[in-house]
């Protein structure tokens, strides 16, 4: 079972992100666009792991306090185009505590440095060579829960399903 821990978005953020995606499509940007229902911030990617209850137990141990999230800017990693978040020490601190507890409980996770972003397009390309961004999406929300998600490959791309969550 492929697992990851994430913050899912409210409708306002999803609307801002999907409107931005639609604008990019109109401007001729092609690629594998993330489906609206799959937009999220990954806090820890666990990968193949057979016991989600152990992960949920760790998430409960760490707890979760409300965190204000604000969209801020865009960028890319190779052929991956994303929207970033404003600097957020509270979010960074939570992720550090979460990853520490995962490690203490021998739950494997991707140890790449945490860089909060929302993947909008994979394998993008556009006529101009550079993605035409007139104005990055704006939006903010108060995150009140963190979710353990399962990822499965479906006929039309990835399907993410919440297995459990920790609420404030």
CATH number of 137's domain: 3.90.1140.10
* pLDDT confidence of residue 81: 95
Q: 43 pLDDT band (50/70/90 cuts)?
A: very high
Domain enclosing residue 65, as ranges: 2-167
Task: Give percent above pLDDT 70 in the chain.
Answer: 100
The conformation of residue 79, written as its DSSP 8-state character, comes to T
Q: Does 57 score more than 80 pLDDT?
A: yes
Q: 131 pLDDT band (50/70/90 cuts)?
A: confident
Average pLDDT, the chain: 94
Whether the Cβ atoms of residue 100 and residue 58 lie closer than 8 Å to each other:
no
Closest CA to 21 of 1, 44, 3, 39: 39
- State how many domains the chain has: 1
Q: Would you list the DSSP string of 4-72?
A: EEEEE--HHHHHHHHHHHHHHHHTT-EEEEPPGGG-EEEEEEEEE-S-HHHHHHHHHHH----EEEEEE
Q: Does 128 score more than 90 pLDDT?
A: no
Helix (H, G, I), strand (E, B) or coil at 87: coil
Which pTM does this prediction carry? 0.93
Q: Does 137 score more than 90 pLDDT?
A: yes
Condensed to tens digits (0 to 9), the pLDDT of residues 60-101 reads: 999 999 999 999 999 998 889 999 999 999 999 999 999 999
Q: What is the mean pLDDT of residues 140-165?
A: 92
């Amino acid at each position: 079972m492929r697992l990851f821990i994430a913050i899912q978005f409210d409708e306002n953020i999803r609307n801002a992100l999907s409107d931005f995606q639609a604008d990019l499509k109109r401007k001729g940007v092609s690629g594998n666009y993330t489906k609206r229902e799959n937009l999220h911030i990954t806090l820890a990617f666990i990968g193949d792991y057979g016991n989600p209850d152990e992960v949920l137990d760790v998430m409960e141990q760490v707890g979760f306090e409300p965190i204000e999230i604000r969209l801020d800017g865009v960028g890319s990693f190779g052929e991956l185009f994303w929207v970033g978040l404003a600097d957020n020490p509270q979010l960074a601190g939570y992720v550090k505590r979460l990853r520490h507890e995962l490690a203490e409980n021998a739950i494997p996770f991707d140890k790449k440095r945490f860089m909060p972003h929302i993947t909008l397009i994979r394998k993008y390309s556009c006529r101009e060579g550079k993605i035409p961004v007139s104005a990055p999406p704006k939006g903010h929300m108060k995150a009140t829960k963190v979710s353990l998600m399962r990822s499965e490959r479906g006929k039309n791309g990835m399907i993410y399903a919440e297995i459990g969550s920790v609420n404030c």
